[in-house]
Amino acid sequence: QNLPTQLTSFIGRVGEQKTVQALIEKHRVVTLVGAGGCGKTRLAIQVGAAELENFPDGVRFVDLAPLSGTGLVVDAIATALGAKTEAGLSAINAVVRALEGTQTLIILDNCEHLLAECAEAVSALLRAGGDVRVLATSREPLGLAGEMMWRVPPLSLPDGERSPDEVVKCEAVQLFVDRATAARAEFSLTSSNTAAVVEICRILEGLPLAIELAAARAKTLTPQDIRSRLSDRFRLLTGGRGRHQTLRSTIDWSYDLLPENERALFRRLSVFAGGFDLQAMEAICGDSLDTIEHLVDRSLVIVEQLSDERLRYRLLETLRHYAAERVIEAGEEEDARERHFTYYLDVAERTYARRIEDEAASLALLDADHDDFRAALRWARARPRDLLRLASALGWFWHLRSYYREGRAWLEEALNVNANDRSPDMARALWALSMILSWSGDAGARQLADRSLELWQENSEPLELALALESIGYSQFMAGEYADALRSMEDCLKQYRKFGSTKLVTRGRVNVGQMLVALGDVERTEPLARETLAEGRAQNEPKSIHYSLHYLGDCALWRGEPQKAIGIYSESLRAALDYGNQMEASTEMQGTAMGLAGSGREEEALRLYGASCARNKELQTTAIDEIAFWVQLRERYLTPARERLGPAAAERAETEGRAMGWAQAVAHALQLAQETRGTGQWH
């Protein structure tokens, strides 16, 4: 589960929580509907935590508030699930595959600005095999057939005049007292302040966010003072309806109470699309730790503890929109956006520079700020040169994280509006787009790789020049030009050796191994792959481990050692799954199928082959299927297996395999490998 950590207590809602849990048991889609600030998100998180035991495959939380534009909802769901979209696999197919056969609860938070896209995504989720349920929060229903809409009520309020002991049983009062005590430890509900507290809760209509904002003022004001200020200032505003107006008035009041330095910080924080840390806040807003702490104390900023050593801050979406209006009114938006872009460009550039030696940490850093990179890119659309700089710095991230659609769109836009540019940024963008197109099977990859190489030669960047040679090698490999690809990769390796980086050298040697095994040169591939496997394990580099194992499996097939190949491919299959590369996992399954065919397990071999073919069709990786040397190996092992079985039995086995679910096929492949006692015998 990835439920956000809550640093404050959950007050009341016992009956509501049980009701929502009962609805989830009966309905596959439940939508919590209500005005902003009514507690939809917090209730959904609480329900998700309570439902963990009922969903053994997890409860996954997806925050949609930072997203704008189209095409990102499914990507956000895929990211929350850890589903990869390799080599042309659409995000929705990746999500459906990840959910197939599972019992999973998905919480979609803040759907109201993306209703149509959310409805489409949820419809697709429900088509996944297994027991997948969706709990959504929105200001409006999604409009799906079968959707159970449940309106989140305000917190319970006291009726009539009650004693402190009686009114504290009401949820709204409980929340006020809890948050007021957090603001000032000596606060307590007494006979002298009970009436004021009750009146505050009533004026605020039991809305949790409004009550929390009011209670935060208990640090410096008495309940009577708070009540009087609400009476003076808390009037309905135009341009909204019902609770929306009430909430805006509450925020107006809270904002007006801030000293100017805190107002300025609050306004500028609106430029963050997602969470942020202190370093980002200080760089963009030019303020101090003390000021942000004051905003946290006043419940205007939320602090989230990601680990023992990491804290991040964020604004509630309602507050962020309010602050965005204020920053425009103050004439500060342009400066804040400029600072925001400059900061995140610097982060992207610094991360790009260290990506080779610390890939995992670099990817994790970009993952955390992905929403703000998107916001910075959108702002840079009016400044073509800046758009190119940022998009080119993020291209490698999009490639490795399989954000093919998003990465391709941004890179193509940046290239189109900078058509005559010949800077390193242009070369970097061309390289990234060429890699994305190569693994998508797009023939245009080679032209982009050549252009990138040409520009890097002009700009005299040795490492980037070597990487451009690598991209050319892969475009040649995908085109079946193995001898040319080998020469490119050998030239690339020579360049890599000049930089004194063991990881770069291993990377280059792995690339050479790919081309050697494609040529059928087992005598050179096998010792090289064993060496790169050891190096990859020593460096904890999952890609090197997986590809080295794969080449060893290929060598076993070339040598006519199918049972040995089964053991290697089963280990490589596990490595591909751990690495998150679904395309390669399907390839390992085909390798296992060939090994089984050569070991007298024809029916099982063709079932796995059928399952792999179905998977490749879903992934849209037809280019991978047509790689010439792989076709040659399949003909060596699978064609005789079909002949031994006969046409009818062979077709039946493949049809049964195509009907398998992917998770079932993977488990079956690993079980068959164990049964043939292939695992481990190759070492």
Domains identified in the chain, total number: 4
CATH of the domain at 641: 1.25.40
Question: Residue 284 has what pLDDT?
Answer: 92
Question: Would you state the structure tokens that stand for residue 401, as one six-digit string?
Answer: 């994280």
Q: Please determine, for residue 680, whether its predicted confidence score (pLDDT) is greater than 50.
A: no
Q: Report the Cα–Cα distance between both ends of the chain, in Å, rounded.
A: 37
Pair 249, 279 in one domain: no
- pLDDT tens, residue by residue, 44-81: 999 999 999 999 999 999 999 888 767 789 989 998 99
Confidence of residue 667 (pLDDT cuts 50, 70, 90): very high
Question: Residue 249 has what pLDDT?
Answer: 63
- Asked if residue 105 lies in contact with residue 131, where contact means CB atoms within 8 angstroms, the answer is no
Confidence of residue 542 (pLDDT cuts 50, 70, 90): confident
Average pLDDT for 653-672: 91
- Of residues 69 and 131, which shows the higher confidence score? 131
Pair 104, 53 in one domain: yes
The mean of the pLDDT values for the chain is: 88
How far is the CA of 186 from the CAs of 7, 42, 179, 258, in angstroms?
Answer: 20, 27, 12, 23
Average pLDDT for 572-576: 89
DSSP string, 612-680: HHHHHHHHT-HHHHT-HHHHHHHHHHHHHHHHHH-HHHHHHHHHHHHTS-HHHHHHHHHHHHHHTT-TT
- pLDDT tens, residue by residue, 302-330: 888 776 667 899 887 768 888 998 999 99
- pLDDT tens, residue by residue, 208-241: 888 888 888 888 889 998 888 775 433 322 223 3
Q: Please determine, for residue 287, whether its predicted confidence score (pLDDT) is greater than 80.
A: no
Distance of CA 87 to the CA centre of its chain: 17
Domain hosting 321: range is 260-331
Question: Residue 239 has what pLDDT?
Answer: 28
Q: Please determine, for residue 683, whether its predicted confidence score (pLDDT) is greater than 60.
A: no
Question: Residue 244 has what pLDDT?
Answer: 37
Pair 184, 278 in one domain: no
Report the range of poorest mean pLDDT among 39-48, 108-117, 520-529, 562-571. 108-117
- pLDDT tens, residue by residue, 638-647: 999 999 999 9
Question: Residue 88 has what pLDDT?
Answer: 63
Pair 218, 245 in one domain: yes
Average pLDDT for 597-618: 91
Separation between Cα atoms, residue 339 and residue 111, nearest integer Å = 29
Across 80-129, where does the E strand assignment appear? 102-109
Question: Would you state the structure tokens that stand for residue 532, as one six-digit string?
Answer: 């790169």
Going by C-alpha positions, the residue among 410, 405, 446 that lies closest to residue 620 is 405
Pair 144, 172 in one domain: no
Separation between Cα atoms, residue 478 and residue 467, nearest integer Å = 17
Report the range of poorest mean pLDDT among 205-209, 409-413, 530-534. 205-209
Q: Residue 482: inside a domain, yes or no? A: no
How far is the CA of 257 from the CAs of 44, 71, 251, 263, 478, in angstroms?
Answer: 31, 40, 10, 9, 63
Pair 61, 76 in one domain: yes
Q: Residue 594: inside a domain, yes or no? A: yes
Average pLDDT for 253-263: 84
Question: Would you state the structure tokens that stand for residue 286, as one six-digit string?
Answer: 């030019």
Pair 66, 88 in one domain: yes
Which H or E run includes 33? Answer: strand 29-33
Pair 105, 34 in one domain: yes
Radius of gyration over alpha carbons of the chain, in Å? Answer: 29
- Asked if residue 414 lies in contact with residue 432, where contact means CB atoms within 8 angstroms, the answer is no
Pair 242, 296 in one domain: no
**Paired strand residues for 137:** 32
Confidence of residue 399 (pLDDT cuts 50, 70, 90): confident
Average pLDDT for 24-40: 89
Report the range of poorest mean pLDDT among 21-30, 123-132, 381-390, 466-475. 123-132
Going by C-alpha positions, the residue among 209, 166, 178, 42 that lies closest to residue 110 is 42
Strand-pair category, 29-33 with 311-314: unpaired
Which domain-ending residue is among 151, 185, 212?
151
Q: Residue 453: inside a domain, yes or no? A: no
**Paired strand residues for 135:** 30, 107
- Asked if residue 126 lies in contact with residue 29, where contact means CB atoms within 8 angstroms, the answer is yes
Question: Would you state the structure tokens that stand for residue 581, as one six-digit string?
Answer: 């590369």
Which domain-ending residue is among 282, 298, 331?
331
Question: Would you state the structure tokens that stand for residue 285, as one six-digit string?
Answer: 């807003």
Q: Please determine, for residue 440, whether its predicted confidence score (pLDDT) is greater than 80.
A: no
Going by C-alpha positions, the residue among 442, 433, 441 that lies closest to residue 414 is 433
Separation between Cα atoms, residue 150 and residue 147, nearest integer Å = 10
- pLDDT tens, residue by residue, 328-365: 999 999 999 999 999 999 999 999 999 988 887 888 89
Q: Residue 278: inside a domain, yes or no? A: yes
Q: Residue 429: inside a domain, yes or no? A: no
Question: Residue 241 has what pLDDT?
Answer: 34
- Asked if residue 47 lies in contact with residue 20, where contact means CB atoms within 8 angstroms, the answer is yes
Q: Residue 59: inside a domain, yes or no? A: yes
- Of residues 34 and 104, which shows the higher confidence score? 104
Question: Residue 154 has what pLDDT?
Answer: 86
What region, left, alpha or beta, does residue 568 occupy, with left being phi > 0 and alpha being psi -120 to 50 degrees? Answer: alpha
- Give 154's DSSP letter: P
CATH of the domain at 313: 1.10.10.10
Average pLDDT for 609-629: 79
Q: Residue 371: inside a domain, yes or no? A: no
Q: Residue 277: is it exposed, middle or buried by C-beta count within 10 angstroms (0-12/13-18/19+)?
A: middle
Q: Specify the length of the chain in residues.
A: 683
Q: Please determine, for residue 682, whether its predicted confidence score (pLDDT) is greater than 60.
A: no
In percent, the amount of the chain with pLDDT more than 70 equals: 92
Q: Residue 632: inside a domain, yes or no? A: yes
Which domain-ending residue is among 151, 173, 196?
151
CATH of the domain at 110: 3.40.50.300
How far is the CA of 80 from the CAs of 60, 98, 251, in angstroms?
Answer: 6, 11, 31
Separation between Cα atoms, residue 184 and residue 181, nearest integer Å = 5
The answer for residues whose C-beta is within 8 angstroms of residue 328's C-beta and 6 or more apart is none
Looking up tokens 């090698």, which residue turns up? Answer: 473
Confidence of residue 622 (pLDDT cuts 50, 70, 90): low
Pair 576, 640 in one domain: yes
Question: Would you state the structure tokens that stand for residue 257, as one six-digit string?
Answer: 């109470």
Confidence of residue 247 (pLDDT cuts 50, 70, 90): low
Pair 56, 78 in one domain: yes
Pair 35, 124 in one domain: yes
Average pLDDT for 137-156: 89
- pLDDT tens, residue by residue, 458-507: 998 899 999 999 999 999 998 889 999 999 999 999 999 999 999 999 99
